[in-house]
Amino acid sequence: MGKYRFETDEHELFRTTIRKFLQKEAEPYYEQWEEDRMIPLNFWKNMGDMGFLCPHVEEKYGGLDLDFSYSLIILEELERIGTSLIGIGLHSDIVTPYIESYGTKKQKEKWLPGCVTGDNITAVAMTEPGTGSDLANIKTTAIRDGDHFIVNGQKTFITNGIQADLILVVVKTDPDAQPKHKGVSLLMVEADSPGFSRGRKLNKVGLHAQDTAELYFEDCRVPKENLIGKDGKGFTYLMEKLQQERLVVAVSGQVASEDMLEMTLEYVKSRKAFGRTVGSFQNSQFKLAEIATQVELGRSFLESLIEDHIAGKDIVSKVSMAKYWLTDTAKQIANECMQLHGGYGYMEEYKIARRFRDTPVAAIYAGSNEIMKSIIAKNIGL
């Protein structure tokens, strides 16, 4: 895995520290977590103790006040262990920024310190059984009743859904608003709220250690103080934050591709067929040359986007390109690398098998790749 242009000695030390931490605290247990279908809470707490959760949060709320470049290093090192750790990136770099950007001082004081320590695990609940990327048409309502909102509805495919203490729920506070997106708001629902319940832990093709759930809200009473930002501004906030969410997924796709290239190169150099190594055949060489080229192009593109994102630039089109292209490429690479492993690639004890299972969903979540292409098409004038 290459080094970014902007990486300093401090970044390098930070990377070494988290890599050693994960080699000790995650790698030896990861297979068991996959079998258990859950990342244990003590791992979250250990991450918090080391300062690896929400490092961007201000020091007064317990964070390290670091920029996105440090979050990036954490995301990359987590992905090197396995994609089932995506819930940690979602917590740190997708959900918590909503509290930081749009929350009141009181909300920040109440929730952010626990987000940093791992005592508050977060989730974001957008998707519904009948609504995926079409957020303007969600059905979950939050109707004002005195000092509370009464929430009714159902959410599904929610990352961290089983263990979350705080769920950022996308709701309709004005179901009759025209245009529809003006009725969307964001509401933080605490897990002990009356009327909130978790459904089953969903049984997925891959990402086995990552808890994904259905959530139910039946006359769920949520204090009006839990509204994030302004009533009716939820859709705007989501659009503002989706750039970073999709960048996070693009990073995951890139690192997965790099990891697959590395493990496959190692395998073909040692595995023999017809009296010679698999890597000595022209087909293997050409395939891996193509993959190495895709990986190099992906990293160069991603590096430029990360620099622009840290600089605060609006790069929605390019991030949409990166999210779709890097995750589609990772799917293709998973297929090619499994083939190069032969029959062993289909065995669970080989990491490529897990990559093959875990990789495809990145083209679906955080806005499907078809949605990414729609955004790009619109932004190039079509």
* Catalytic sites, residue numbers: 245
φ, ψ for residue 361 (rounded to 5)?
A: -65, -20
- Record the tokens describing residue 367, joined without a space: 């806005």
- Beta carbons of 115 and 58 less than 8 angstroms apart: no
Q: What is the DSSP string of 265-316?
A: HHHHHH-EETTEEGGGSHHHHHHHHHHHHHHHHHHHHHHHHHHHHHTT---H
Across the chain, how many H-helices and E-strands are there? 12, 10
Q: Collapsing DSSP states into helix, strand and coil, what is residue 11? A: helix
Query: Do the strands 166-172 and 122-125 form a parallel or antiparallel pair, or are they unpaired?
Result: parallel
- Beta carbons of 305 and 274 less than 8 angstroms apart: no
Q: In 10 A of CB 139, how many CB atoms?
A: 14
- Beta carbons of 223 and 148 less than 8 angstroms apart: yes
- Beta carbons of 152 and 110 less than 8 angstroms apart: no
Length of the chain: 382
Q: In 10 A of CB 288, how many CB atoms?
A: 18
Alpha-helical runs (H) found in the chain: 9-25, 30-36, 41-49, 68-81, 86-89, 96-102, 105-117, 234-270, 282-310, 316-340, 351-358, 369-379
